[in-house]
Amino acid sequence: MLRIAGLTKRFGGLTAIGDVTLDFAAGTLTAIIGPNGAGKSTFFNLISGAIVPDSGQIVFQGEDITGLSRAAIVRRGIGRAFQVASFFPSMTVAENLQAAVAAHRGQWADLGRGFPRQGVRERALEVAEMLGLHDSAHVLSANLSHGDQKLLDIALGLALEPSMLLLDEPTAGMGPEERWNMIEKVQRLWRLQNLTLVFIEHDMDIVFGIASSIRVLCYGRVLAEGTPDEIRANPAVIEAYLGTPDPEDDA
Amino acid sequence: MASGMVRTRIWRDILAGCLLVAVLAIVPALIPARAFQDFVIRCSSMALFATSLNLLVGYTGLSSFGHGMFFGLGTYSFALLMQRTGVALPVAFLLTLLITAVTAVAVGAICIRLRLIYFAFVTLAMQMLLHSVVISWVGLTGGDQGLMGGIPRRSVLGVDLGLQYNLYVFSAVVLVAGLLLMRHIVNTAFGTSLRMIRDNEVRAAFLGIVVWRVKLTVFVLSAVFASVGGMVMSLFVSGAYPELINWPISGDAIFAIVMGGIGSFLGPAVGTMILLLLNDVVTRQTEYYGLALGLIILAFALGLRRGVLDFITERLGGRPAGGIS
């Protein structure tokens, strides 16, 4: 579905992403892990068109999307959510989602008819329901709880009916209980919406609990890739990142 | 259902606009003072200008300090077309809109790449540039003296705008039509795109909005409405003068927005009324007009912390400033 070949991005003397080659198969739920500064967020920014790579190629569904604009990449079906929840604080939840649905339907430059047009309101509510936000539909998004703001951010990405969704630390800043609540929602979304989902996560319990495959980045390079079991047993990963496993923790 | 509510909203606005024109048309029969009509004409011109600026400042978050260049361009281009060519008034009106739009595309293409204070200062610089061209190109613009000699052929569909009352009703009609059009713009999906960019430009881009196109479009649209305000002013002063294209005129519009309310559609129009009333009252009392106005602005900015209409809306339990109207 998404094929990345020889991707490189340097910031001054620092190589944030160095010669990364990765494949993401359709329908997978992939976790990207790695220590701080490993280049995980940069990697997302490269795929979604926020920054242009120095070299390498990004191929999505058979099409080379390297160097395309953010909007052009969104139109091809890659949605994303951010580490710090990103939404429109002066609007209610419903208005946020209506705006996203209208944008997805290509109405964003429409100067002719009133907003929202036929069906936009209904579709926005459907998206709110997928993430359990329908009860707060008329709450000003700036006043939502931190967890709900993260959900709204994901819902905005989802309103684009993407085939691939990139989630940058969906559980950032959450307490343990809230985390699992969020992860259950993400997992359900992945199952029901037939999505290819890639997420960045620091909580290893979550990563090994739900991911169908894992990619480990370290200093901008791919340290390892494979199923959770393969990653757990990988000596390079253990040394660099996971630490020595407990004796009873069967690899 | 959704589109039904939208339609009701449009008809309600149109009805309110027609009522305003009707009331204004009757008032001179009760209060024959010429000063009142002058006030309404100046108000119409400046309110269109201030509201058009608020499309940028309030709705899109683009603080232009040089929006007066398009107001001034409207006065000069209209006055020149009327004085130097033989075209009818409506043709001069449309040509001026075209000239403004083309200029705004060129200026906007340069300015919208910039953000925040850089955008503000480059727009200001652009206006200063245009002002100095007007001052130095004496042969075309009359330099410091401006374009004197009046506006000939002031007839629209058989109505003579040379008569005070006719110009008064005309300016009210233009104001209402302009406000209704701008109201429509902010209520479309495009209007929602403006708020998205104001709130969170990055998020808007990641939802598929081509941000520069939206910004350039709103820049040109707001310039065109400012130019309409300029044309009303040109008819009122019978020409065009350098003060109408100089940078303090942009400041007046910003004052109007601050005093009336950045978060309400009619805020800038209300602010214009307050500004012009203050202007008339204060200049009658003291020559230190700038000082008095400065103190009042400070009171608004530091005391009330919002414009009059935003304040009232919030008191009535409405959305805090900056919300969707």
- Encode pLDDT of B223-241 as tens digits: 999 999 999 999 999 889 9
Residue of B nearest to A121 (CA): B2
pLDDT score at A239: 79
Interface test with A, best of B60, B195, B203, B211 (most A CBs within 10 A): B203
- pLDDT of B193 over the 70 cut: yes
Q: What mean pLDDT do residues B205-213 have?
A: 94
pLDDT for residue A41 is more than 70? yes
Q: Could you report the per-residue pLDDT of A131-152, keeping only the tens digit for each?
A: 989 999 999 999 999 999 999 9
The full 3-state SS of chain B, as one line of letters, equals CHHHHHHHHHHHHHHHHHHHHHHHHHHHHHCCCHHHHHHHHHHHHHHHHHHHHHHHHHHHCCCCCCCHHHHHHHHHHHHHHHHHCCCCHHHHHHHHHHHHHHHHHHHHHHHCCCCHHHHHHHHHHHHHHHHHHHHHCHHHHCHHHCECCCCCCCEECCEECCCHHHHHHHHHHHHHHHHHHHHHHHCEHHHHHHHHHHHCHHHHHCCCCCHHHHHHHHHHHHHHHHHHHHHHHHHHHCCECHHHCCCHHHHHHHHHHHHHCCCCCCHHHHHHHHHHHHHHHHHHHCCCHHHHHHHHHHHHHHHHCCCHHHHHHHHCCCCCCCCCC
Contacts of A195 (CB under 8 A, 6+ apart): A27, A162, A163, A164, A165, A189
* Structure tokens given for B256: 């109007």
pLDDT at A116: 86
Q: Say if CB B161 and CB B96 are below 8 A apart.
A: no
Handedness of CA B8, B14, B19, B20 (dihedral sign): positive
d(CA A60, CA A58): 7
Around Cβ B178, how many Cβ atoms within 10 Å? 22
Say whether B190 and A111 touch across the interface (CB within 8 A): yes
* B318 part of contact set with chain A, CB < 8 Å: no
Q: How far apart are the C-alpha atoms of B261 and B307, rounded to whole Å?
A: 4
| Bridge partner residues of A76 (DSSP) | none
Cα(A161)–Cα(A149) distance, integer angstroms: 19
Kindly list the residues from chain A whose CB atom is less than 8 angstroms away from the CB atom of residue B324. Answer: 90-91, 95
pLDDT average, residue stretch A173-179: 86
Task: Please report the pLDDT score of residue B273 as a whole number.
Answer: 94
What is residue A76's predicted lDDT score, i.e. its pLDDT? Answer: 93
For the segment B282-293, the average pLDDT, to the nearest whole number, is: 79
For the cut 90, the answer to whether the pLDDT of residue B310 exceeds it is: no
Using the beta-carbon criterion (under 8 Å), do A108 and B189 form an inter-chain contact? yes
Looking at CA atoms only, how far is residue B39 from chain A in angstroms?
33
CA distance A70 to chain B (A): 6
User: With an 8 Å Cβ cutoff, are B204 and A103 in contact?
Assistant: yes
Contacts of A81 in chain B (CB under 8 A): none
Q: Which of the four pLDDT bands, split at 50, 70 and 90, describes residue B89?
A: very high
Confidence (pLDDT) at A244:
58
**Residue B195 near chain A (CB below 8 Å):** yes
Lowest-confidence range among A3-7, A55-59, B29-33, B318-322?
A: B318-322
Token look-up 């230190």 returns: B288
CA distances from A10 to A41, A42, A71, A224, B249 (A): 14, 10, 23, 21, 47
Residue B177 Cα, gap to closest chain A Cα (Å): 16
- Find chain B residues with C-beta within 8 A of A82's C-beta: 203
Strand partners, A78: A164
- The answer, for B155 touching chain A at a CB cutoff of 8 Å, is no
Residue of chain B minimizing CA distance to A85: B203
List chain B residues with CB under 8 Å of A87: 199-200, 203
- CA dihedral B168→B169→B172→B177, nearest 10 degrees, is -140
Cβ proximity of A202 and A33 under 8 Å = yes
A chain contacts of residue B200, beta-carbon cutoff 8 Å = 86-89
Nearest CA in chain A to B194: A108
Which pLDDT score, from 0 to 100, does residue B145 have? 87
Q: Is the pLDDT of residue A245 over 90?
A: no
**Which residues 10-29 of B are in CB contact (within 8 Å) with A?**
10
Tokens read off for B134:
């007007």
Q: Do B208 and A107 touch (CB under 8 A)?
A: no
**Most confident of the ranges A70-79, B218-227, B297-306:** B218-227
Chain A interface, best mutation among B206, B218, B225, by max A CB count within 10 A: B206
Q: What is the pLDDT, as a whole number, of residue B324?
A: 39
**Chain B residues with CB inside 8 Å of A74's CB?**
206-208
pLDDT at B128 over 60: yes
Work out the pLDDT band at A247, boundaries 50, 70, 90.
low
Q: Tell me: the pLDDT tens digits for A26-39?
A: 999 999 998 888 88
Weakest mean pLDDT among A52-56, A84-88, A223-227, B265-269: A223-227
Tell me the nearest-neighbour CA distance from B324 into chain A, angstroms.
7
Higher-pLDDT residue of A54, B281: A54
Q: What average pLDDT does this structure show over B142-171?
A: 86
> Which chain A residue has the Cα nearest residue B216?
A109
pLDDT at site B3: 59
Sheet with A2-11, strands from edge to edge, namely A14-24, A2-11, A55-60, A63-64
**Chain A residue closest to B1 (CA)?**
A118
Choosing among B6, B181, B192, which should be mutated to test the A contact, i.e. which has the most A CBs within 10 A? Answer: B192
Taking CA–CA distances from A72, the nearest residue in chain B reads B208
By CB atoms closer than 10 A (0-12, 13-18, 19+), residue B3 is middle
Which tokens in the block code for residue B299? 């009171």
Residues of chain A in contact with residue B59, where contact means CB-CB under 8 angstroms, are: none
Q: Which pLDDT band, with edges at 50, 70 and 90, does B318 fall under?
A: low
Instruction: Report all structural domains of chain A as residue ranges with CATH numbers, in order of start.
Output: 1-77+162-251 (3.40.50.300), 90-160 (no CATH)
**CA dist list (Å): A248 to A38, A230, B63, B322:** 29, 17, 63, 58
Give the model's confidence band at B4: pLDDT under 50 very low, under 70 low, under 90 confident, else very high. low
In chain B, the residue whose alpha carbon lies closest to the alpha carbon of A139 is B319
What pLDDT, on a 0 to 100 scale, did the predictor assign at position A90?
93
CB contact under 8 A, B199 and A98: no
**Does the beta-carbon distance from B199 to A114 stay under 8 Å?**
no
Q: How many angstroms separate the first and last alpha carbons of chain A? A: 30
Residue B316 vs residue A78, higher pLDDT = A78
Q: Which residues of A touch B190 (CB under 8 A)?
A: 108-111
B166 touches chain A (CB under 8 A): no
> Going by C-beta distance under 8 Å and a sequence separation of 6 or more, which residues neighbour residue A242?
A204, A232
Is the pLDDT score of B192 beyond 50?
A: yes
Output the pTM of the full model: 0.90
Side by side, the strands of the sheet bearing A196-200 are A78-81, A164-168, A196-200, A29-33, A213-218, A221-226
pLDDT of res. A242: 66
Does the pLDDT value for residue B325 go beyond 60? no
Q: Which letter, b or e, does each residue of B129-150 get, where b requires 16 or more Cβ atoms within 10 Å of its Cβ?
A: ebbeebbeeeeebbeeebbeee
**Selected residue of A80, A90, A127, A138 to mutate for chain B interface (largest B Cβ count, 10 A):** A90
Residue B54 has pLDDT above 90, yes or no: yes
| Residue A159 scores a pLDDT above 90 | yes
Note whether ipTM > 0.85 here.
yes
Answer yes or no: do A109 and B214 touch at CB < 8 A: yes
pLDDT at B6 over 80: no
Q: How much is the pLDDT for A246?
A: 55
Q: Which of B207, B214, B324 sits opposite A100 (nearest CB)?
A: B207
Q: What is the mean pLDDT of chain A?
A: 89
Nearest Cα of chain B lies from the Cα of A103 at a distance, in angstroms, of 6
Give yes or no for B214 touching A (CB within 8 A).
yes
